[in-house]
Chain A
Amino acid sequence: MTLDKAKRGQEIEIISILDSNIKAQAIRLGIFEGARLVCAEKLPAGPVILQNKMQEIAVGRNLARKIDIDFV
């Protein structure tokens, strides 16, 4: 399952991120393998908004397709 399949309100766990540069940047924002986040918002064919407590991060749809997740 990839992140673009997540629906609004679902809780997800990040399984893997392929691109190593993206991986390093994402880790600083709290998106890393094993992290549990909420899909707070999803724009039609656009970015997915991930939320971790007060923190919100917008992930472009293309990038979301490259991030493997599991539903929690």
Chain B
Amino acid sequence: MSTCHSSVKMKNVEQNLKKIVLAGNPNVGKSVFFNSLTGVYVDVSNYPGTTVDISTGKYKDYIVIDTPGVYGVSSFNDEERVARDVIINADIVLNVVDALHLQRDLFLTQQLIDMGKSVVVALNMMDEVKANGIDIDIQRLSDMLGVTVIPTIALKNQGLEEVKNHIAVARQGNKTEGIEELLSQYKDKVKVESEALLVLEDDPNILSRNHLEETGMRELIYRKRRARVDDVVSQVIRNTNKGASFKTKLGRYMLRPITGIPMLLVVLWVMYEFIGVFVAQTVVGITEESIMLGIYQPFIVSLISKFISEQSFLGHILIGEFGLLTMTPVYVFGLLLPLVIGFYLLLSIMEDSGYLPRIATLVDRVLTGVGLNGRAIIPIILGFGCITMATITTRLLGTRRERVIATVLLGLTIPCSAQLGVIIGLIAPLGVKYLLIYIVIILGVFALSGVFLNKVLPGESSDLLIDLPPLRIPRVSNVLKKTYTKSKMFILEATPLFALGALLISIMQFTGFLNRIQEVIAPLIIGWLKLPKEAATAFIMGIVRRDFGAAGLTDLAMTPEQVLVSLVTITLFVPCVASIMVIFKERTKTEAALIWGGSFIVAFLVGGLLAQIII
């Protein structure tokens, strides 16, 4: 990460063109400006070593680069590090500011000015300012900052042309008092001039790049900047109407448990109806059953078997039961892709509307009990879609400790949507009693393992500190774009892992190793779990694909007690082969091996104890 100084990779664009970089806090409408500048020819690429996507395009003789929304230029997380490196190399920064949140947003603006960047400020969402009874003295704001400030309502296409007309005259603004003197000491010691400010602010990556020691100045500079921003804000804002609007009130209701929990339950129910029922059954029925299994698989098998025998080792690997050309694409495109798109669609809506940070706040108390904070609700929600996708998302958690806890809880206790359908299908006919026992056991394991890990893991988890943005109706194009880039990233990342897993399973099956494991665990299944011998096959299949395992149980003649035991066991042990791979990729080998092995032990221990009690 610290070496990616050479800026973003850009395809087909000449390096000597001037760069316009869009910068702003999260959800301020940057993408509307980006799209307006660049039109349709946009290149979205993953920033090396991160989950962050960067869009680049062209406007006249400029390259336009979008950055992730950040509260400042520093390196507290991946988004910030990426935004920082792109901004450092910018010729012109188009800073989009939420006019309703000047106090928050101008901190970044002032920092950009302090870096010495040529800046144009687009003061966006002016309509909301009026609606809230606030008046902003734009001329005075522009004078104080020393840069052009243009009022805009990007969604209604107001002010965009004026912003474009002013890009060529972007200029350096008025720095925070005293910064210039400090900067002059470092200007010759850094490679790029705008890095001098970040050196003063003790950015660890920038310090090591320039082989410099910490200056200890960050707090002083931040405080000065804060004071200046507050001074500017107090001078340009007039007539603040204190009456809480409906949106503010709704935002509060989402936070208060007595109203917030029912709202959350309704949202979860809608999510279940959309993803668990509509996508997992109707859509996957078409994509997996009809298209991939009905058309694609017979086609590829008949094509390949003309050249390679299905019974040969190579044939087995390519088009066998777990083949690289059969099961891998069927699973990834037929099953996972629709689910992942469905989940990212809902998540993007919740994120852009401002609801997601409020859910995080609402559940923070519960999650601190298991060593996480409210932000961990994002991977947990995603886990009900796909554990592989959720495990990748644990990167956004603040500490390594939290990432380990979240990965364990996901792998152990959260049934993915593919599995959920089968579980519900099996347990529903048994009645409410069994459903409740199942839920209590799984929740119990979630709580106990979380509390246990929170006790034994060294270090401390990070605390919740998040901005609650105003509630807004999400913009369709933005939601779709987010869904597209995130789903694409997931497929690119998960497909090779899944192929590798399928390859391993194929080899294990061909060499008879899979049958051998089945024989070894059979006594455990019969004696300890008190299940029929055939359940061993279902469990082994569960390692390949979670839903395979659960589905394999459907055909077995079992008593209601046995169904319960088998479902508890299969929910708790190992996630599918793709998520095992992703756990090994995201965590160290020791951690991953412990998480994987541990899940087997917990699954058989809990399942067995339950069997001994009820059967």
Interface pair B223/A27, CB less than 8 Å apart: yes
Task: Mark each residue of chain A from 32 to 72: 1 if its CB lies under 8 Å from any CB of chain B, else 0.
Answer: 11000000110111110100111111111111000000000
Q: Give B76's nearest chain A residue, CB to CB.
A: A25
Asked if residues A20 and B463 are in contact (CB atoms below 8 Å), the reply is no
Q: With the chains together, A57 CA to B117 CA distance in Å?
A: 29
- Is B364 in contact with chain A by the CB < 8 A criterion? yes
Is the Cβ of A60 less than 8 Å from the Cβ of B251?
A: no
A28–B107 touching, CB < 8 Å: yes
The answer on a CB contact under 8 Å between B76 and A32 is no
Q: Does A15 contact B (CB under 8 A)?
A: no
The 0/1 profile, CB within 8 Å of A marked 1, for residues 233-252 of chain B is 00000001000000000011
* B467 interface neighbour in A22, A27, A29, A53, Cβ under 8 Å: A29
* Bound CA–CA A20/B101 (angstroms): 25
**How many A-B residue pairs lie within 8 Å, measured between CB atoms?**
114
| B526 in the interface (beta carbon within 8 A) | no
Q: Judging by beta carbons under 8 Å apart, are B222 and A27 in contact?
A: yes
CA of A6 to CA of B465 in the docked complex: distance in angstroms? Answer: 17
Q: Is A23 part of the contact surface with B, judged by Cβ < 8 Å?
A: yes
CA distance A54 to B100 in the complex (A): 7
Question: Separation in Å of the B79 CB from the closest CB of chain A?
Answer: 13
Per-residue 0/1 for B328-362: is the Cβ within 8 Å of any A Cβ (1 yes, 0 no)? 00000000000000000000000000000100111
How far is the CB of A61 from the nearest CB of chain B, in Å?
7
In angstroms, Cα B100 to Cα A44, docked, is 29
Knowing A25-B465, A60-B464 are in contact, say whether A46-B103 is a contact too (CB < 8 A). no
Residue of A nearest to B468 (CB): A56
Label chain A's interface by main secondary structure: mixed
> Cβ of A24 < 8 Å from any Cβ of B?
yes
- CB of B465 within 8 A of CB of A63, answer yes
Cβ of B74 within 8 Å of any chain A Cβ, yes or no, is yes
Q: B219 to A22, Cβ gap below 8 A?
A: no
B571 at the interface (CB under 8 A from A): no
Q: Which residues of A contact B374 (CB under 8 A)?
A: 47, 58, 60
Q: Are B255 and A22 in contact (CB under 8 A)?
A: no
B240/A49 in contact, CB under 8 A: no
In the complex, how many angstroms separate the beta carbon of B411 from the nearest chain A beta carbon? 25
| Contact yes or no, B101 A54, CB < 8 A | yes
Chain B residues within 8 Å of A47, by CB: 361, 364-365, 374, 464
Chain B, 192-224, contact with A by CB distance < 8 Å: what is the 0/1 string?
000000000000000000000000001100110
How long is the Cα–Cα vector from A28 to B201 in the complex, in angstroms? 13
Choose among B71, B223, B463 the residue that contacts A62 (Cβ–Cβ < 8 A). Answer: B463
Chain A residues positioned under 8 Å from B365 (CB to CB): 43-47, 61
In this complex, the member of A22, A26, A52, A56 whose beta carbon has the largest number of chain B beta carbons within 10 angstroms is A56
> Given that A22-B463, A47-B374, A62-B368 are contacting pairs, would A57 and B468 also be in contact in the complex, using a CB cutoff of 8 Å?
yes
Given contacts A24-B218, A60-B465, is CB(A43)–CB(B470) below 8 Å? no
List 8 A–B pairs whose Cβ atoms lie within 8 Å, in order of A's numbering: A27-B222, A28-B104, A29-B467, A43-B257, A47-B464, A49-B468, A57-B467, A60-B464
